[in-house]
Structure 1
Amino acid sequence: MSTPVEGRKRRGNRIPQLAPLSFTVITMVLFVLFFVMPGGLGIYYAFTDYRGVGDADWIGLENFVELFQDKDFYSALIRTLTYTVIVVPLGYAVSLLSAWLLTSPRTKGAGAARVIFFLPWLVSPIVAGVIWRWLFGESFGLVNYLLSLIGVAPVSWQSDANLSLSVVVVAGIWGGMAFSMLLFSAALKNIPQSYYEAASIDGASTAQQFWKITLPLLRPTSFMVILLSTIGAMKEFALIQALNGGGPGTQNYLMVQYIYSTGFERAQIGYASAASVILMLLLLVIAGIQMRFDKGAEYE
C-alpha cells in the first residue's frame, strides 16, 4: 500500500504531464471549430444552390460548370496570378536587401531603421489601404498634389486599371516586407561569420560571398518566405478593398474580392463557395510545387 505522501507525489507528477495535453486538446478543438467545420461547410455549399437563406438544395457540379464559363472568374484569376507573380519576387528581393543592410556591421542606425521598417506590419491592412488611397487619390491625393507643384498633370491612379494595380503592388510589398525582413534578419544572424572570413581570405568579393554563402544558407528561410508570401498574395482582400475596391469597376478584382462580391453582394453563397474551393485547390497545388522544388534542391 502507498502512503498518503506517495499518493500526493504521484498526483503532483501528473500535473506537468497533463498541462501539454490540455493545451493540445484546446488547440485542436479551436482548430476544428473555426477551420475544419467552416471549411467543410463551405465545401458542402459549393455543391448546392444556397443563397444565404432557405434550404441548400444539392445541385452537384452545376456551380463549377457555370464557374468555368464565367469570364469574370477568369479575369479575377488572371489578375490574382499577375499580382502574385509581381509582388512575391519583388517583396522577396526588398525584404532580403533590407535585412542584409540592417544586419551588416557597417550599417549605422540599424536599430532605429529596424523599428521604422517594421511599422507597416503593425498597421491594419484596412488602415494601410486608406493611407495609400489618400496618397494616390486622383483629385485629392498627396502624390498628384506634389506633381502639380512641379507642373505635371494629375495621374489617373484610380481610373487606369494598370496604374491602379501598380499602386496595389507597391502597397502590398510595403505591407508584407516587415515580416519577411524579420525572418531574413534572424536567419542572417545565424550564419557563422567564420564562413565570410574564410571567403575573404580566399579573395572572394562581397557579391561572391552573397551568392555562394548567404543565399544557399538562406534556402529554408527563402522557402518559407516565398510560400507565405504566395499564399498571402493569392488571398489579398482587405488592402485592395480599402485602397480602390478592385477598381476601376471590377478590372482589378482579385479572387477573394470576386468571392466576396458573388457571395455577399449577389447572395450566391453556393457559387462563391465553389470559387473558394477552386482557390483552395490552387493554393494546395502551388504549395505542393514549391515543396517539391525545395526538396529537390536539398538533394542537389
Structure 2
Amino acid sequence: MRKANQKWAFLFIFINLALFLLFFAWPAAFGVYYSFTDYNGNVSSFVGLANYIELFQDTSFYKSLWRTFLYTLLGVPFIVITSLFISVLLVSKHTKGKNVAKVIFFLPWLVSPIVVGVLWRWMFGESFGFINYVIQLIGGDPVPWSSDGTFAFLVVLFATAWMHVAFNMLLFIGALIAIPKTLYEAAEVDGGTGWQKFWYITLPSIRPTMFLVVLLAVFNLMKEFPMVQALTNGGPGTDTTFLVQYIYETGFNQMRVGYASAASMVLFVLLLVFSLLQFKFTKGGKVND
C-alpha cells in the first residue's frame, strides 16, 4: 500500500512539475533571453543591456510604473478594508439574510475580468452609461467618466475592488469563524465594547490572513490587465496605462518584443521582492512578531 501511494505521489508531482516547466519556466527563460535582444516577432539579434538602458531612460515607462504604484497603493487598502467590513457583517449574529448576501457578494468572482470591464464601461459610459442616465434624471450634468483621467482612474479602482472583494471575503470569513468565541465572552464579562473586541481580539487573530490578503492584492493589482484593457484601454490618453498595459503596447502593438521583455523582467523583480517579503515575515502560515 505504501509503495502504491508513493507511485501516485510521484505521478502527481511529475505532472505538476511538467506543467510548471512547460507553461512557466520555459516561457520565462525565453523572456529573459528576449530582453537582451531586439526581437520584433520575426528576427532577433543580441543587443546586451541596450533594452534596459533605454527602458530606464524612457519617461513613459516611469509614468506607467508610477501609475501602477499609485493604483496598488490606493487599491490594496480599499480592497482589504472593504473585504474585511463585509466579512464582519456576514459573520455577525445580528445580520439577516447572510446566505443570500454571500451569494451576491461572491458573484463578481465568477465573472471574467473582461466581462467586468465591459460591464463597468457600460455603467460609466459618458453618453450611454447607466450612471449618467440616472444623474440626468435627477437634474444633474453628465460626469466625464471616460474623458477625464481622474474619473477614469477612480472607475478602474472601484471596478477592481468590486471584482476582488469576493475571494478575499472568503479568506476573512474563514479566519473570523476560527476565532474562539470564549475570547469575546471574556471581553464581554470585562465590559469590553464592540470596537475594543474588534481591535484587541479580531484584528490580532486574523493577522496572518490579513497579511496573505494584502500580498495577494498587491500581486493582482500590479498584474491587472484584462479588466483595465476592456474598461478604459489605458485611456484617456495614458492616464490608466499601468505597467502591464505598457508592456502590451510596446510588445504587441509596436512589435518591440525584446524591449517589452525587459519591462516584464522589471515587473518580475518587483513581484519577486514582495514574494521574498512573504517568506521573510511568514513561516508556516503565521506572521512573525
Q: Aligned ranges for residues 193-232 of structure 1 at < 5 Å?
A: 193-232=181-220
Report the AA paired with residue 141 of structure 2: A
Deviations 1:173-193 (A, max 9, x none): 000000000000011111110
TM-score, normalization by structure 2: 0.96
Tell me how far apart the structure 1 counterparts of residues 65 and 147 of structure 2 sit (CA, whole Å): 21
Match of 1:154 in 2: 142
| More displaced 10-residue stretch of structure 1: 277-286 or 178-187 | 277-286
TM-score, normalization by structure 1: 0.93
Residue ranges of structure 2 left out of the alignment (5+ in a row): none
Identity %: 51
1:49 counterpart = 2:2 = no
Q: Aligned ranges for residues 25-104 of structure 1 at < 5 Å?
A: 25-54=14-43, 56-104=44-92
User: Does structure 1 retain, via aligned residues, the 8 Å contact 2:251–2:260?
Assistant: yes
Match of 1:246 in 2: 234
Question: How far does residue 71 in structure 1 lie from its aligned partner after superposition?
Answer: 1.0
Match of 1:120 in 2: 108
Task: Provide the secondary structure at the position in 2 that maps to 1:21.
Answer: helix
- Cα separation, partners in 2 of 1:294 and 1:207, compared to 1, 3 Å: farther
Match of 2:270 in 1: 282
Task: Provide the secondary structure at the position in 2 that maps to 1:52.
Answer: coil
Tell me how far apart the structure 2 counterparts of residues 219 and 231 of structure 1 sit (CA, whole Å): 19
Match of 2:157 in 1: 169
Tell me how far apart the structure 2 counterparts of residues 151 and 111 of structure 1 sit (CA, whole Å): 37
State which of 15, 36, 40 in structure 1 corresponds to 2:4: 15
Question: How far does residue 289 in structure 1 lie from its aligned partner after superposition?
Answer: 3.6
Task: Provide the secondary structure at the position in 2 that maps to 1:137.
Answer: coil
Tell me how far apart the structure 1 counterparts of residues 41 and 66 of structure 2 sit (CA, whole Å): 28
Report the AA paired with residue 5 of structure 2: P
Report the AA paired with residue 36 of structure 2: F
Question: How far does residue 57 in structure 1 lie from its aligned partner after superposition?
Answer: 1.1
Tell me how far apart the structure 2 counterparts of residues 262 and 298 of structure 1 sit (CA, whole Å): 39
Question: How far does residue 298 in structure 1 lie from its aligned partner after superposition?
Answer: 4.7
Report the AA paired with residue 126 of structure 1: I
Tell me how far apart the structure 2 counterparts of residues 281 and 39 of structure 1 sit (CA, whole Å): 12
RMSD over aligned Cα atoms: 1.4
Residue ranges of structure 1 left out of the alignment (5+ in a row): 1-11
Tell me how far apart the structure 2 counterparts of residues 64 and 289 of structure 1 sit (CA, whole Å): 25
Match of 2:258 in 1: 270
Tell me how far apart the structure 1 counterparts of residues 145 and 279 of structure 2 sit (CA, whole Å): 37
Tell me how far apart the structure 1 counterparts of residues 117 and 236 of structure 2 sit (CA, whole Å): 15
